[in-house]
Amino acid sequence: MADFETARRAGVDEPAGRFETTDRAKAPEAWRPARAPLEGEPADAAAQIGRGARRDRAGAPPRFKLSPGQVEALQRAAGNRAVTAVVRPVAQRVAIKDPTMTETLYNTSSGGQATANKYTLNPRYEMTRNGDSGVTVTVRIKFLSQKRNSVDPKSPGAAPGTPALGTLLDYPAEIPANDVRVEWAKQTAEGAVKNWNGRLSFVGEERNLFSANTKKRLPVTFVSVAVFGPSEQADNQVIIHPPSTVAGSPGQPIDAGNWYMNKGTSYSGDDKVIAAHEYGHLLGIPDEYSQSNEQLNALIHQAAPSSAPSARAALDKATVERMVLSSLMSPLLGQLNAAMPTITNALRAERPLLKQKMAAAARTGVLSEDVREALRTQLTAASEGKLAPSVPAVVAFETTANFSDRTQAGQGVESGFSAAALGTQIRDAYWNALVAAEGARVGVAGLGAVSINVASSVSATTATGGASAGSAAGVAASSIGPAAAPGLPAVLPNTSLEGQITALPGTWTAAGSLLETGVTPGLFAAKMLAILKSAGAAAAAPLPPGVAPPAKLANERALFERAYRMVSNAATGASRQLAAELVSTTMQPALRSSVTDLQGKIRAEVSRVMSTPPAGVAALGPADPNMTAMVAAMKKVLDADKAATKGTGRDPLGSGVAAPAQDVTYSYQGMMGSNATRALRPDQFRPLVNKFNSKLTKTFEKRFRGEVK
């Protein structure tokens, strides 16, 4: 599944049952140990093996397990190559059929918390060793057609016996040869492995008795083979849904057993990246997104070296910090709205200065040759041929004698500096800064980048009537500033966001200020030109069928009127855009600084509560009681979540343990997580490497390990 953060926010869940197959691998054959030859038996090793070993189910050559002493004796007598050939011939190709695996994902929601579902994986593939040149892992995928139930059985009017959403209906059928899904499936399957190839190598060495060991590096090539016949042999089965079926709609989530040509709006990832993620499931690699604190710590333990220190404490601190920030976002925005009249009044007070500067920029910018050339080109195209000679003079007149720089600049500034426009612009910019901070990834030692996903149940605690509403309001007031009152407040803290923003316009009169560098003839001309080009492209676009093209300008009066509108609209638009950009450039540093300062205060208080020894508390300075209360409340929530899932590991439901709802989940930002990156880790391939070591290594080879780049 790709773009999981988008899917999570949209409420898209993966259904139970990733695959149709449920075969389990049987235990490998046991081999009898070596014994000394009996009287009358041949004394050579080959004869011993013939008597002492059994063939496996597939009739592979017999393998015989010698003791270390016997191996060394044979090495001395015959050498590695001869002993390998006689004692343990290498099976070059093996079919892997692992037992069914399960995984738990917290990818549904109930009451604002993340709730869990259980899913199954049935790894099946073929592994081939190509001598010492490499290893090939092949998955044969059978692509078929089958519909899923898209009717919620709990919805009004649902027929009795309606199956669960996403249930496959009837029986899978062959996709017609001329169906667009056939070629799409081939290309998608081929593209999926491109994201895996060149990444993994098996690294090991062969023991030599009389010389240094032979180092070996076997690059692993992944292959997916598409088959379409219902009776054709395959490792896994995938249903391809046609373009008419939209992924992410009710009952239509993308998963390892269901691929979609039409991703809709729930999945923004590339088809081949989505397929690459699902291909990983066919190899037996589970998902690494929508996991609880307990699950993520189990994943960290799996990924990090055994000597690495535990990352639990650092992760818990980062989690509480993110919970506090997330719970404060709405109160902060509400406080900013209350302070907005003071802020917008301070900005609007500088309109006369801005209009004067804008008019000067417009007066020179409109004379740009690029602007005039764009006007001439478009007016000529819009006019009858007889008016072409008049176009240059009309353009010259409308950009000089008939151009009112004060009027156009004034209208643009008034539009960009209206209280409503300023309020929306500042509010959106601040919210985006908060969202960026809330969505920032956390680097976890030994694992990599992780997203911390805070459920709406956390922010509900600071809503009106919530347990932490009062504390959150106190933090918001100290961070943003007091609510607006008639006239300026008596006390406006300079450290508050309100105090910082209202002070910024006063800097516009200084030499080299943002007003001086942000409103210039060159910038004005560039804005006018962009507006004219956009209008020209729209006019030149093909018309819908049946729509007649507009009539050409037939006389000079019409030509003058069109030229005046074009110049006026472009100049007013340029003024409005430059005014808005001036506000944005002025505000952004203050907004980012405010969010950064808030995060610093949160971090300091979390450290005070969670990791500072008593002797070091005094050095942190006085605590903000509201922030202290917020941190304590969020830590209590996290502690309760951790206690509820303690000991459940990475697969709570698979172990038969209840999986209580969680207020925070985590997503690894790699190939098998949210797909935000193509990152892979060696530990993800440990089962694959173990299969290679148990089935495809030679007698004198040490165990191989996986290396990823």
Q: Is the pLDDT score of 91 beyond 60?
A: no
Q: 247-251, 263-267, 469-473 — which is least confidently predicted?
A: 263-267
Please provide residue 540's backbone torsions phi and psi, each rounded to the nearest 5 degrees: -90, -5
Which phi-psi region, left, alpha or beta, contains residue 112 (left: φ > 0; alpha: ψ -120 to 50)? left
Q: Is the pLDDT score of 260 beyond 60?
A: yes
Q: Which residue has the tokens 């197959």?
A: 21
Q: Is the pLDDT score of 232 beyond 90?
A: yes
- What tokens does 74 get? 């044979």
Contact 580, 416 (CB under 8 A): yes
The whole-number pLDDT of residue 616 equals 77
pLDDT tens, position by position, 425-460: 999 999 999 999 999 999 998 899 999 999 999 999
The whole-number pLDDT of residue 267 equals 85
Distance CA 143, CA 227 (A): 6
Q: Which residues fall within 8 angstroms of residue 445, CB to CB, at 6 or more apart?
A: 304, 308, 309, 311, 314
Q: 312-326, 350-364, 560-574, 607-621 — which is least confidently predicted?
A: 607-621
Q: What percent of the chain has pLDDT over 70?
A: 86
Q: 303-307, 522-526, 584-588 — which is least confidently predicted?
A: 303-307
Q: Is the pLDDT score of 182 beyond 80?
A: yes
Distance CA 497, CA 343 (A): 10
pLDDT band at 47 (very low <50, low <70, confident <90, very high): very low
Give the H or E element holding residue 707: strand 705-708
For residue 47, CA distances in Å to 32, 55, 64, 125, 208 come to 15, 15, 11, 35, 25
Q: 8-12, 408-412, 612-616, 618-622 — which is least confidently predicted?
A: 8-12
The whole-number pLDDT of residue 658 equals 83
Question: Around 251, how many Cα atoms within 13 Å sit in the side-chain half-sphere?
Answer: 19
Strands (E), 250-307: 258-262
Contact 702, 206 (CB under 8 A): yes
Across 469-479, average pLDDT: 96
For residue 53, CA distances in Å to 44, 50, 62, 66 come to 14, 6, 6, 11
- What tokens does 178 get? 């001329």
The whole-number pLDDT of residue 446 equals 85
pLDDT band at 158 (very low <50, low <70, confident <90, very high): very high
pLDDT tens, position by position, 270-315: 777 888 998 999 999 999 999 999 999 999 999 987 777 788 899 9
Q: 397-411, 426-440, 476-490, 602-616 — which is least confidently predicted?
A: 476-490
HEC sequence for 531-545: HHHHHHHHHHCCCCC
Please provide residue 510's backbone torsions phi and psi, each rounded to the nearest 5 degrees: -75, 150
Give the H or E element holding residue 239: strand 236-246
Q: Is the pLDDT score of 45 beyond 70?
A: no
Q: 55-59, 62-66, 373-377, 385-389 — which is least confidently predicted?
A: 55-59
Across 343-364, average pLDDT: 95
pLDDT band at 67 (very low <50, low <70, confident <90, very high): low
Q: Is the pLDDT score of 363 beyond 90?
A: yes
Contact 389, 380 (CB under 8 A): no
The whole-number pLDDT of residue 81 equals 55
Distance CA 380, CA 389 (A): 9
The whole-number pLDDT of residue 613 equals 82
The whole-number pLDDT of residue 23 equals 35
Q: Is the pLDDT score of 22 beyond 50?
A: no
Q: Is the pLDDT score of 386 beyond 60?
A: yes
The whole-number pLDDT of residue 74 equals 57
218: exposed, middle or buried (C-beta count within 10 Å: 0-12, 13-18, 19+)? Answer: buried
- 307: helix, coil or strand? coil
Q: What percent of the chain has pLDDT over 90?
A: 70
Across 94-120, average pLDDT: 91
Across 524-540, average pLDDT: 95
DSSP 653: G
Dihedral of CA atoms 49, 53, 56, 59 in degrees, nearest 10, equals: 40
Across 585-608, average pLDDT: 94
